[in-house]
Amino acid sequence: MSSVLAENSAPISAHARDIRLTTLPNGLLVLTERMSHLRSVAMGVWIDCGSRDESLATNGISHFIEHMVFKGTTTRSAQQFAREVDAIGGNLDAFTGKETICFNIKVLDENVPAALDLLTDLVLHPTFSAEDIAKEQGVILEEIKMDEDNPDYLVHELFTQNFWKGDALGRPILGTSKTVSSFTQQIVLDEYARRFTPPNMVFSAAGNIDHDAFVAQVEAAFNSLSASSGERIAKHNAPQAFPHITLKNKKSLEQVQFCLAVPSLPVAHPDRFGVHLLNSILGGGMSSRLFQSIREERGLAYSIYSEMNPFRDTGSLAVYAGCAISNTQEVLKLTLAEFSRLKHEPVTEEELTRAKNQSKGNMVLGLESSSSRMSNLARQQMYHGRFFSLDDLTHEIDRITADDIQRLAQQLLQPESLALTLLGNLGPLKITPTDLAC
């Protein structure tokens, strides 16, 4: 296996990949991968906390801050940012997740200094004016309404809120109308100051870039952040997952949307590769069992798939489908039958080989751009504290056996652990715990 991420600009053993990490005097981690065959550089400031690190009263503040930093800084207006990014042909973006916030920019290698100046100004010098806060509250309230009109989004949110009931992990990333409306300038300033500190940040970059020169630029840009500015956000214990059956009637919908899930493994669990292959075989692609059985053989649904949602201390393995109400119980029955088959019959060598090749192909294809490499570096640092080469990952996937898949299916796909959310014009449809036997 590859070596642990090293500090003080030491190179990291990663075969052909040129990856280096430096810890600045103030504690900020700077991680780069040189890809000399490219003309682009992607860089991102990652905040190692997200919506699950919020209190009930401040639910949505991470996403709100992500929006607000684009409203202007002490030296640039929002319009100036847009003009300067366009002037260097850059792509500036940001997103908020359950456990991270990221601000990133991608440019030609010749424009790295200008891009770094823009990204630094955005992250370190936002003004958070009271006028802009009031305007952005209106924007995000409309975003919440828009998402609530999207049945695919809504069934996911209903499921999550009931699955991680009472825990921040179950709350919406956007927050609620009540919480977003309550944000004041002082709340925004306090929450920004708590999160945007060296112990909670990782700066990653990938592309045609020189590590030492880049580190020197980042150190100069971030010297206003002292080592004593803030503490690392405390991580809470893993939340309890609640088995449940939730039926939400929405008469305006033509389809029934459903989510059927069980608790799964954390993102860094040793068995994560086995669960990844189990998910691939179950519903991870067009050749998967659910897609073939429910869509191709019977024509009962257009959209049917499974996915993993791993977090730092827990996770879920979920099946999502949309179908006519008349087909709902049959689709549910067929899904549970595949759960049962995974538990009681070893997968075939053909299926296992196909899943392994699919996973390895997706990994390689997913690392072909500077943006994907930049994200990969930051996530591996935050979740694993080390770097895994493609050879490491390929080895871990290749050693998974059919017995491993069956063992994990028996461990995870338990009837007493199942959670089901149904959304649509449900009429007289009833689902009981007896219907979820598998």
Which residue numbers are catalytic? 66
Q: Which two tokens stand for residue 352?
A: 């296992």
Distance CA 288, CA 138 (A): 43
**Alpha helices by DSSP H, 320-400:** 328-344, 349-365, 370-384, 390-398
What lies within 8 Å, CB to CB, of 72 at 6+ separation is: 78, 81, 126, 127, 129, 132
Helix (H, G, I), strand (E, B) or coil at 183: coil
Is 205:32 a contact under the CB 8 Å cutoff? yes
Which alpha helices (H) appear in 385-434, and where do they start and end? 390-398, 402-412
At which residue do the structure tokens 């990969």 appear?
376
What is the DSSP pairing of strand 29-34 with strand 201-207? parallel
Rounded CA separation 218/384 (Å): 23
Query: Distance (Å, rounded) from C-alpha 229 to C-alpha 199?
Result: 9
Q: For residue 224, what are the contacts with CB-CB under 8 A and spacing of at least 6?
A: 124
Pairing of strands 419-424, 244-249: parallel
Q: Residue 276 to residues 69, 164, 259, 268, 426: CA-CA distances in angstroms?
A: 36, 22, 19, 12, 33
What the block records as the tokens of 16 is: 């052909």
Q: For residue 31, list its beta bridge partners.
A: 21, 204
Give the sign of the dihedral formed by CA 274, CA 353, CA 380, CA 105: negative
* CA separation for the pair 245, 260 (Å, rounded): 9
Pair of tokens at residue 141:
């309230």
CB 423 within 8 A of CB 258: yes
DSSP assignment, residue 314?
A: -
Q: Which segments within 109-243 are labelled E, that is strand?
A: 201-207
